[in-house]
Amino acid sequence: MSTILAVDDSASMRQMIAHTLKGAGHDVTEAGDGEEALGKAKSAQFDLVVTDINMPKMDGIALIKELRAMGNYKGTPILTLTTEASADKKAEGKAAGATGWIVKPFDPDTLLSTIGKVLK
Amino acid sequence: MAIDISQFLQTFYEESFEGLDIMESGLLSLDSGSADSEVINDIFRAAHSIKGGSGTFGLNAVANFTHILESLLDEMRDGRRQVTKEGVNLLLESVDCLREMLTAAKENQELDTQRIADVHGRLEAMWGKSEEGASTPVTATDNSNTSTGQNADGWTIKFSPFPYILKTGNEPARMFKELRELGELTVAVNTDKVPDFPELDPDECFLAWTLTLDGNIERAAIEDVFSWIEEDCDLEITPIVSRSESDNQPAANTPAATGAATARTGGSSSSESASIRVGIDKVDSVINLVGELVITQSMLSTTGSAYPMLQAGLAQLERNTRELQEQVMRMRMLPVSFVFNRFPRLVHDISEKLGKKIELKMSGEQTELDKTVIEKVTDPLVHLIRNSLDHGIEMPEDRLAAGKPETGTVWLDAYHKGGNIIIEVRDDGKGIDKAVILEKAIERGLVDANTHLEDNQILDLIFQPGLSTAKEVSDLSGRGVGMDVVRRNMESLGGNVEIRSTMGEGSTLTVRLPLTLAILDGQTIEVGNENYIVPLISIIESTQIKPEMLNYVAGKGETFMLRDEYIPVIRLHEIFESKPRHTDITKGLLVVVEAEGKKTGLFVDDLLGQQQVVIKSLETNYKKVDGVSGATILGDGSIALILDVPGLVRLSQENRTDRLKLSA
Amino acid sequence: MATAASTEAMQLGQDGTLGQDDDGVQFLSFILADEYYGIDILRVQEIKGWTPVTRVPQTPEHMKGVLNLRGTVVPIIDMRMRFSLEEVEYTPLTVVIVMTVKSDSGERLVGIVVDAVSDVLNVGKDDIKPTPDFGDTVSTDFINGLASVDDKMVMLLDADKLFNVEELATEETLEQE
């Protein structure tokens, strides 16, 4: 079991991600934007962060940069949720320090197999 | 693992409709000239979320439609595309299409695919006008220059990650594990680049590997393992037996240009506030319980008066319960912006259609109203605004000729006043011609030609069914059809509507509504040994009648004169068949109430206290009763009925006509 | 005696499993002008002594008024008046049976005023006899059947038919006309 922080401004995506991951036995914390996610990441250590890119207040790119700047998230896997149209977003996410990406739309199985890659 | 994702659909629809509202109001604000990049970003983000969700939840038509919309918005956001009026209008139409598509999907309804296809076509045409290929959607991973079908008996992989690789959360060990799942893996490590211990940064990776992977494995499968880090390492994948094709590899690229990564932070849109979704039934059951608590508390306080300590505690309890009640009531409240938000679009569309120039100015959008009131007030408000647009505001040339600014203004204001919420619809249009109204009203027999009417009484005639349903009058008078319906709707919510107007200067319609339908401020009245509650909002005054004020008008029954006005009397004890203390009208009291624009005197024995009461429906367990709008539980646990004032007035009119018929 | 029976009825009524055993139904019987009536015990919510109600104007005479039952406004129907029987003064034995009535629009709570509560009856399905046809003069729509228990004839009432909204509305319309 791992502790996972799921960040997306869309409640339905968040619910689906959380439900899927919880179903696989993980402990999931949800956040609706980067700011909220950062606050939560500061008060608890997560094994994995899954974040959307386009979000209000603080977007995914800024969140990744902030997390990487924190000592305890230097090497934590961070996956971005990205649409196929935004190839440049993948690069942008990578440049900010993301570990990898999950392409939207995705189904629960894809999500599980992808995060399975980065969780020990 | 099979997960039924349809369980998240409801949330998806809700947030998508919210997203569409954000897009719409954003687009409308672009329309009025400001090309604020933050606004475009909000619009883009909403479209983006709808696209992502619709794809995930299998609504592919929506996803496809939103895709092109998103692409256009992306260009506008980056400044690659000009924000034009035509563009905004087309995007607004697209928002309508999406709303229809989502509604159709949600409600399982038929869809006008013709229109969707038309708008989609126009979006594509618009997209075509941009520089070709400026940002053509890239599909899947970009491994186009590698031959994915290539097989071999085995592979040699030279893998030298860049030192920062660990800081991206990617661990070489993880990739080796994945490779092992593909075939037999041999790992040889190269430590040449590892610096001396003093210079060693434990967060960096100086190792390189040469891996041998045996088995009939597709190159693509191996590339897939490294797909996230192909730009963060030197990678050579060579087939073991066949001719070397190592030239083909996406070799040592330097990390992607990081300068492009601009963080968009801050500047959240004001409409966002932290909230949770709770079923209204849950809120209502809490409201009911709190209502109970208030009653229990007041029962205790009447019995506990003998003990000072208990009394003090009860006073504290009363404050707490009142506060709790208010807070719980607030859970049902929504900002009136839920209704107002649609009006910029309405004004935009209608003024375009009419060829008028109209500016809408709104204030008080954050004023909160009960959810039920909000739902029921929407249509009447649309009606009032439309009237201002259609009939109030003049054509630009007429306005100029009248010495007014070319652009007309419609104000929409909401604010609190004395426990009620006031919504005002005001315009600086041509106003209402009272002479025309009076003339038509006389013609239709609504008023007697000899009766002198004050200005406000004449204006009030537009709420009469007989007058406002006549089409030609509405055009002349400058007010549309169905004002009687508007007034009736407002009164059914326990509110009312009034009009003021000055020729040439404009009109103001004032809607007064209770904050909530769950509680009301009531006046307790006594008829015989029975108590009833009259909503305070409908009471104008209470008065004792002197014999000389009385009058009996043939066909209208008992009336009395109050400041030059004849007011009909309803004897409550007659309608309710109760045994009153007083039957002599000069002994009891008259409570003057107003309903449907008319004053009526309710004859009662006495007035008791005023109090806030929790409204309970009679229909839950029984049925609708004429003249009664509901019930409430008093401090002693007994029930008092709440009077439906407009219903009572109608009831007494029916009774009167019956009596007339009988006597005829 | 009536009190003892009512306590028992309440306990049984609250436990939803006891109303129906293998081949029978449990009824709460009550007395009205020396006649015995029964209603399905699963429908009985509560039995309470008569307390004053708030009269509701513009309603039929048998609608005595409304009562506050822990925050719910419950209509109280006088069954003697409803069946056009001779009216009597209410006594300490007079009780109100609060029961659920089902209709298309959902479940409602209705209280009925009866002379006294009698007993809880176990009636086997085979012991329920069809209602004889009394001709047009007496409406038997709301009687499910007759049961004979200890030499007493018990009329088993169909609460839903007796109190459905349409019926109440029709009555009122009839009265007004």
Q: For tokens 């060579």, name the residue.
A: B238
Question: Above pLDDT 90, what percent of chain B?
Answer: 13
Q: What does the H/E/C string look like for B584-629?
A: CCCCCEEEEEEECCEEEEEEECEEEEEEEEECECCCCCCCCECCEE
pLDDT band at residue B268 under the 50/70/90 scheme: very low
Closest CA to B40 of B8, B74, B11: B74
pLDDT band at residue B148 under the 50/70/90 scheme: very low
B387 is known as an active-site residue: yes
pLDDT at residue A84 in the model: 61
CB B300 within 8 Å of CB B314: yes
Query: Does residue B477 have a pLDDT over 50?
Result: no
Sequence spans of domains, chain A? 3-118
B231 is known as an active-site residue: no
Q: How far is CA B450 from the centre of its chain?
A: 48
pLDDT at residue C44 in the model: 93
ipTM of the complex: 0.79
Range with the poorest average pLDDT among B6-10, B365-369, B413-417, C55-59 = B6-10
Query: Does residue B294 have a pLDDT over 70?
Result: yes
pLDDT band at residue B398 under the 50/70/90 scheme: very high
pLDDT single digits (tens) B583-636:
888 888 999 998 877 889 999 999 998 888 888 888 888 888 888 989 998 877
Residue spans of alpha helices (H) in B493-571:
none
Mean residue pLDDT of chain A comes to 85
Residue in chain B lying closest to A19 (CA): B3
Range with the poorest average pLDDT among B180-184, B240-244, B390-394 = B240-244
pLDDT at residue B409 in the model: 94
pLDDT at residue C10 in the model: 41
Q: What topology is assigned to C2-176 in CATH?
A: OB fold (Dihydrolipoamide Acetyltransferase, E2P) (2.40.50)
Query: Does residue B416 have a pLDDT over 50?
Result: yes
pLDDT at residue C177 in the model: 35
The size of the A-B interface in CB pairs under 8 A is 150
pLDDT single digits (tens) A60-85:
889 998 888 888 888 888 998 877 65
Residues of B in contact with A99 (CB under 8 A): 168-170, 228
Query: Does residue B261 have a pLDDT over 50?
Result: no
pLDDT at residue B77 in the model: 80
Q: CATH top-level class for B519-663? A: mainly beta
Range with the poorest average pLDDT among A84-88, B195-199, B357-361, B528-532 = A84-88
Q: Which residues contact B315 (CB under 8 A, 6 or more apart)?
A: B301
Query: Does residue B390 have a pLDDT over 50?
Result: yes
Interstrand relation of C152-157 and C143-149 (parallel, antiparallel or unpaired): antiparallel
Give the distance from residue B235's alpha carbon to the nearest chain A alpha carbon, in angstroms: 17
Query: Does residue B548 have a pLDDT over 60?
Result: yes
Residues of C in contact with B621 (CB under 8 A): 72-75, 108-110
The dihedrals phi and psi of B213, each to the nearest 5 degrees, come to -120, 115
Range with the poorest average pLDDT among B363-367, C15-19, C81-85 = C15-19
pLDDT at residue B254 in the model: 39
Question: From CA C66, how far away is CA B427, in angstroms rounded?
Answer: 49
Sequence spans of domains, chain B? 5-128, 154-249, 280-331, 335-514, 519-663
pLDDT band at residue B167 under the 50/70/90 scheme: confident
Of B617, B633, B640, the CB nearest to C71: B633
pLDDT at residue B362 in the model: 92
Q: For tokens 């191996």, name the residue.
A: B222
Give the distance from residue C113's alpha carbon to the nearest chain B alpha carbon, in angstroms: 16
| CATH node for A3-118 | 3.40.50.2300
pLDDT at residue B60 in the model: 83
Query: Does residue B525 have a pLDDT over 90?
Result: yes
pLDDT at residue B150 in the model: 54
Question: From CA B84, how far away is CA B77, in angstroms rounded?
Answer: 13
Q: CATH top-level class for B5-128? A: mainly alpha
Query: Does residue C124 have a pLDDT over 50?
Result: yes
CB A2 within 8 Å of CB A27: yes
Subunits close to B (at least 3 CB pairs below 8 A): A, C
Closest CA to B469 of B432, B448, B444: B444
Sequence spans of domains, chain C? 2-176
Q: Considering the candidates B15, B18, B48, B204, report the single residue annotated as catalytic.
A: B48
B70 is known as an active-site residue: yes
The dihedrals phi and psi of A103, each to the nearest 5 degrees, come to -90, 130
Residues of A in contact with B203 (CB under 8 A): 74-75
Range with the poorest average pLDDT among A48-52, B198-202, B259-263 = B259-263
pLDDT single digits (tens) B426-467:
999 988 888 888 888 888 887 888 878 888 888 888 888 766
Q: For tokens 């309903």, name the residue.
A: B595
pLDDT at residue B146 in the model: 43
pLDDT single digits (tens) B16-43:
998 898 888 888 887 665 567 788 888 8
Q: Is the backbone peptide bond immediately before B239 cis, with ω within 30 degrees of 0?
A: no
Mutation for testing the B interface, residue in A40, A78, A94 having most B CBs under 10 Å = A94
Subunits close to C (at least 3 CB pairs below 8 A): B
Bridge partners for C110 per DSSP = C99
pLDDT at residue B131 in the model: 44
Query: Does residue C169 have a pLDDT over 70?
Result: no
User: CATH for B335-514, among 1.10.760.10, 1.10.3720.10, 3.30.565.10, 3.10.129.10?
Assistant: 3.30.565.10
Give the distance from residue B347's alpha carbon to the nearest chain A alpha carbon, in angstroms: 29
Question: From CA B351, how far away is CA B32, in angstroms rounded?
Answer: 13
Q: Which residues contact B34 (CB under 8 A, 6 or more apart)?
A: none
| CATH node for B154-249 | 3.30.70
Range with the poorest average pLDDT among B116-120, B226-230, C112-116 = B226-230
Residues of C in contact with B625 (CB under 8 A): 56-59
Mean residue pLDDT of chain B comes to 79
